[in-house]
Amino acid sequence: MLPTFVFQHMNPPHPIQPELPILHVLVVDEDEVARSACLAIARNLGYKAEEVPHLGQVRSTLARFPTDILLVDISSREEGVLQAVAEVHALFPRVAIIAMAPVDSASAALSAMHCGAVDYLNKPFTLDELASSLERISVSHVINSETRKLRERLKLQDGLGQMIGRSPQMEKLYRMLAKVAQSKHPVLILGESGTGKELVARTLHAFGPSPDKPFLPVDCGSLVPTLVESELFGYVKGAFTGANHAKDGLLVSAGTGTVFLDEIGELTLDLQAKLLRALQEKEVRPVGSNTRIPIRARIVTATNRDLATMVERGGFRKDLYYRLNVVNLRLPALRDRKEDIPLLVAHFLNKIHREHPGRFSIHDDALRLMMGYDWPGNVRELENAIEHGVTMASGGEVQIGNLPTGLQDLALSYLHKAMSDGRKVEAASSTTAVVPLAVRERVAIFEALRITNGDKLKAADLLGIGKTTLYRKLKEYEAADAKQMN
């Protein structure tokens, strides 16, 4: 029988969630009955627990018992007691302190918090109150230790998981990502095209609580609305033509995994309403059915559109926006973190090396050129540029002349500028100065078209080539540009 002055009433103990680690609890209370009761309860809940009667014994116990949570009675609230708690907090900052005291003073909680306690229990407290205080701390313990592990990993690596970049903007993003990965809150990922939104979504999943569960992406931009609906919510047999059998929606089949709704800004208003209902009620109704099925998946969304403006203009529901935007991660454009370009280039060259025979490097001038470029297509464009460079390179080194035309045009503009500034272009100080003939030709053609206001016949005349040659060249450029965009 437990003493009533500790626990007002008893409910059956609910053990800590199995996915949480087993934490060590040290109970400190001069009152033996209360102390033993807390000890019994903590053990019953699945914690490893020990007890000592006096605060004076805490420091020596902490040295041998790897304590995570200190459950300490501060009833007397004498200066000595509070001072001792504050000392423990200063010496062992990772130990979470829960203070307990009778309900006789409103200032008790305040004193406890001043001494570093993270939680406070009024005596007598219920078993549920003790259990939830311990559980809250267990959850934040997991989040903190994951964040610590991530920080340590970051010190050694060029980025986080598959994400490369050590610029301050990326480091900030990793810190946010580590904080939110362990929670189940919806996350909205924002950023220009090619900045790595899908990669962030995958990383969130990989560092989240259920990495072994499915990660299911849905591209709301490329699917017709009816298909998005049946994909997300599922359908019953006969719900529409071709529905020959019932199918679970992704929100259900993901289980406790992640559903990644890409291009969420493209969702129709009708589907926005349905998604909102599903998120609010945590259940879905498959197409053609009246039955509701509970959902537990984490929702991660992404867009390169300005959702806030869409909300203002009525293109996106405000209530859904707030629900999805509990946490948002904004990816920087590559032009705003150019210091990451060399790391990214090395990463993509290594990736090619792992997938194909042969090792490639990059010429310094080509890398310098890449640092000067603005990368409107962001990391995706950089990855394509490296692949293009490796394909075109004849030796093991990617040179300026092997890079895509956008970059070569930039090289040419540097050359023009250097020449018009009257600077001597040092021949081989740099291959930046040597512009491949193909590039000169392309620039000449576009210049001629500009001068003739797009009149191809006149342009061909100016260039001294036949109009068929001009047409062929333009077609080639078009095909090359289209390839580059993909």
Residues that bind ligand ATP (CB under 6 A): 163-165, 191, 193-199, 304, 347, 379-380, 383
- CB nearer to ligand ATP: give 46 or 186: 186
Q: Which residue is nearest to ligand ATP (CB)?
A: 196
Q: Which residue is nearest to Mg ion (CB)?
A: 198
Measured CA to CA in angstroms, residue 386 lies from 131, 342, 368, 486 at distances of 55, 12, 14, 14
- CB nearer to ligand ATP: give 221 or 255: 221
Residue 485 beta carbon to ligand ATP: minimum distance, rounded to whole angstroms: 11
- Indicate which of Mg ion, ligand ATP, none lies near residue 391 (CB less than 5 to 8 Å, by partner kind): none
- Indicate which of Mg ion, ligand ATP, none lies near residue 199 (CB less than 5 to 8 Å, by partner kind): ligand ATP
CA pair distance 89, 87, nearest whole angstrom: 5
- Indicate which of ligand ATP, Mg ion, none lies near residue 196 (CB less than 5 to 8 Å, by partner kind): ligand ATP
- Indicate which of Mg ion, ligand ATP, none lies near residue 193 (CB less than 5 to 8 Å, by partner kind): ligand ATP
CA pair distance 106, 47, nearest whole angstrom: 30
218 near 266, Cβ under 8 Å?
no
189 near 205, Cβ under 8 Å?
no
85 near 100, Cβ under 8 Å?
no
181 near 208, Cβ under 8 Å?
yes
Residue 193 beta carbon to Mg ion: minimum distance, rounded to whole angstroms: 7
Question: Angle formed by the axes of helices 79-91 and 107-114, to 10°?
Answer: 40
367 near 345, Cβ under 8 Å?
yes
Main-chain phi, psi angles of 328, to 5 degrees? -125, 145
- CB nearer to ligand ATP: give 44 or 169: 169
- CB nearer to Mg ion: give 198 or 397: 198
- CB nearer to ligand ATP: give 304 or 402: 304
Residue 313 beta carbon to ligand ATP: minimum distance, rounded to whole angstroms: 21
Residue 340 beta carbon to ligand ATP: minimum distance, rounded to whole angstroms: 7
Residue 435 beta carbon to ligand ATP: minimum distance, rounded to whole angstroms: 28
Contacts of 141 (CB under 8 A, 6+ apart): 21, 23, 68, 96
**Residue 329: strand pairing partners:** 189
Residue 116 beta carbon to ligand ATP: minimum distance, rounded to whole angstroms: 38
- CB nearer to ligand ATP: give 108 or 164: 164
- Indicate which of ligand ATP, Mg ion, none lies near residue 231 (CB less than 5 to 8 Å, by partner kind): none
Residue 383 beta carbon to ligand ATP: minimum distance, rounded to whole angstroms: 5
Can the peptide bond before residue 404 be classed as cis, meaning omega within 30 degrees of 0?
Answer: no
- CB nearer to ligand ATP: give 196 or 286: 196
CA pair distance 349, 362, nearest whole angstrom: 9
- Indicate which of ligand ATP, Mg ion, none lies near residue 379 (CB less than 5 to 8 Å, by partner kind): ligand ATP
- CB nearer to Mg ion: give 89 or 197: 197
Answer positive or negative: Cα dihedral of 124, 128, 132, 135.
positive
327 near 185, Cβ under 8 Å?
yes
- CB nearer to Mg ion: give 171 or 198: 198
- Indicate which of Mg ion, ligand ATP, none lies near residue 271 (CB less than 5 to 8 Å, by partner kind): none
CA pair distance 70, 58, nearest whole angstrom: 9
For the stretch 432-438, contacts whose Cβ atoms lie closer than 8 Å and that sit 24 or more positions apart, written own/partner, are 432/365, 432/368, 432/369, 432/400, 434/400, 434/401, 435/408, 435/411, 436/400, 436/401, 436/408
- Indicate which of Mg ion, ligand ATP, none lies near residue 62 (CB less than 5 to 8 Å, by partner kind): none
Tokens of 83: 């001072």
- CB nearer to Mg ion: give 217 or 288: 217
121 near 73, Cβ under 8 Å?
no
Q: What is the DSSP letter of 75?
A: T
- CB nearer to ligand ATP: give 14 or 305: 305
Tokens of 252: 């259900």
Residue 12 beta carbon to Mg ion: minimum distance, rounded to whole angstroms: 48
- Indicate which of ligand ATP, Mg ion, none lies near residue 301 (CB less than 5 to 8 Å, by partner kind): none
Q: Which residues bind Mg ion (CB under 5 A)?
A: 197-198
Residue 380 beta carbon to ligand ATP: minimum distance, rounded to whole angstroms: 4
Residue 306 beta carbon to Mg ion: minimum distance, rounded to whole angstroms: 16
- Indicate which of ligand ATP, Mg ion, none lies near residue 46 (CB less than 5 to 8 Å, by partner kind): none
With 0-12 / 13-18 / 19 or more C-beta atoms within 10 angstroms meaning exposed / middle / buried, residue 391 is exposed
Residue 197 beta carbon to Mg ion: minimum distance, rounded to whole angstroms: 5
